[in-house]
Amino acid sequence: MLIKTLRYSGFITVGFAMLVFIAWATSPDPKFNVASLESEPLNPALADPDTALTLAQYTAENGDIVTLLVESLEGSQVTGISLADLGAAPVSDPFSALASVEDAQLKTAFSQARQRRVIDIASLLPTGPRGTRHLGIGTNFPEHAAEASSNSVFNFPKFGAATAARTSVAAPEGSLLDYEVELCMRFDRPITSLEDFDAAVKGVFLCADFTDRIALLELADADNLDSGYGFSDAKSGPGFLPTGPFLLIPKDWSTFVADIRMMTFVNGEARQDARGSEMILDFRGLTEKVLGDMTARRFYYDEAFYKLTPNERIDSDMTLMSGTSEGVIFTPPSRHDYIEIVLAYLLKGGPLSQQSLMEIAIPAFIDNELASGHFLKPGDTVRYRASQLGDIVVAVRP
């Protein structure tokens, strides 16, 4: 009887092991979140000047910053008229330069026989403001919120300087670097209320966000993405805020933003595709949200706690980001991850172990993600494009 019982238990054990192996071996291994792509190619044309003025900046040989009113884009070069030639004050701030030009001069600028300047896109300055504190936004597009299992929009401080439209970012060995395409807005004045937002001159530009997924996995609270932990550390690396070549000053910012289409390509493969109209909160709604979260020193970054902004307002040297759409690389643990995590936990003693399940799960999942090779790696090229806003090209380096 004992022998028969042992034999049956052996069969059961072998059968269970085979089922576990089959479940592990047949588990899907998605390389990234597949986005819904529009059937038509993205139209890179510049904005009609009656809809929005297109500005760009570069540094002249004498060190002065020149603000261009952009007329055309051909290949890797832009053609435009210096605002100084239209009577602008000699200032580096694009809003101030534009405000110092008479409307009549702007309306007739391209019809006059004025000097045109032809500049390589690689020579253009970042369109993001010069500050090093910005406003990051999480899960503000419905499909990406579903990817992240998030039920609300949240914000966090993003640290670091904006970089130009032709740049590079590091993906050292042992990292999990992810991409995000975003729209961004900056203002000609500090914003302390929605009245300030409504009165402000608004600049819209293409931007991107990179994410250190290991930092996010190790620090963020998966059950409360708005906890203040993880996102600032994960999204504040050097070069993690590349910005497009053009700063657009729309006459009707809401309609303009809603019409913008933005995409991400990795080595020529389309990964993200969305329109501004898909945002859960538009930029006015985002402004209201961040202004209501200025007082608490609740955001963890680099082993210290910070308020969302230093001065409890949106300063003019800060970027307000839109959040990203579906199609990022990171995907939740799959069946084979869960199986390996549970087995690792049991082999370490299960409940008798000195570690919790999460303490074992996170390193195990990170190891699997590193082995997958799905994340950005040296030699990759990430290109972000948007209708009317130009493009950003980022080379991934070690």
CA proximity to 255, closest of 208, 316, 204, 291: 204
Q: Look at residue 361 and give its three-state secondary structure.
A: helix
Section 285-312 average pLDDT? 98
Residue 315 maps to a domain: yes
Residue 87 maps to a domain: yes
Q: What is the pLDDT of residues 338-386, one digit of tens each?
A: 787 777 777 777 676 778 878 888 998 999 999 999 999 999 999 999 9
Q: Which amino acid is at 12?
A: I
Name every residue whose Cβ is closer than 8 Å to that of residue 58 and which is 6 or more positions away in sequence: 65, 66, 68, 119, 123, 124, 125
Residue 133 maps to a domain: yes
Q: What is the pLDDT of residues 105-150, one digit of tens each?
A: 999 999 988 899 999 999 999 999 999 999 999 999 999 999 888 9
φ, ψ dihedrals at 168, nearest 5°: -140, 165
Q: Are 273 and 38 in contact (CB under 8 A)?
A: yes
Domain of 272, CATH number, reads 3.90.850.10
Radius of gyration of the chain (CA): 25
Question: Beta strand pairing status for 177-187 and 320-321?
Answer: antiparallel
pLDDT at 103: 92
Q: Are 90 and 64 in contact (CB under 8 A)?
A: yes
Give the whole-angstrom CA distance, residue 145 versus residue 138: 8
Helix (H) or strand (E) holding 289: helix 283-291
Residue 217 maps to a domain: yes
Residue 22 maps to a domain: no
pLDDT at 339: 81
Of residues 84 and 22, the one with the higher pLDDT is 84
pLDDT averaged over the chain?
92
Q: Does the structure show a pLDDT above 60 at 300?
A: yes
Give the whole-angstrom CA distance, residue 340 versus residue 336: 6
Give the whole-angstrom CA distance, residue 20 versus residue 17: 5
Residue 341 maps to a domain: no
Q: Is 357 exposed, middle or buried (0-12, 13-18, 19+ CB in 10 A)?
A: middle
Q: What is the pLDDT of residues 193-242, one digit of tens each?
A: 999 999 999 999 999 999 999 999 999 999 999 999 999 999 999 999 99
Q: What is the pLDDT of residues 66-109, one digit of tens each?
A: 999 999 999 999 999 999 999 999 999 999 999 999 999 999 99
pTM of the model as a whole: 0.93
Section 168-181 average pLDDT? 98
Residue 354 maps to a domain: no
CA proximity to 197, closest of 307, 132, 277, 285: 285
Q: Look at residue 138 and give its three-state secondary structure.
A: strand
Note down the domain range covering 193. 28-329+374-398
Structural domains in the chain (count): 1
Residue 388 maps to a domain: yes
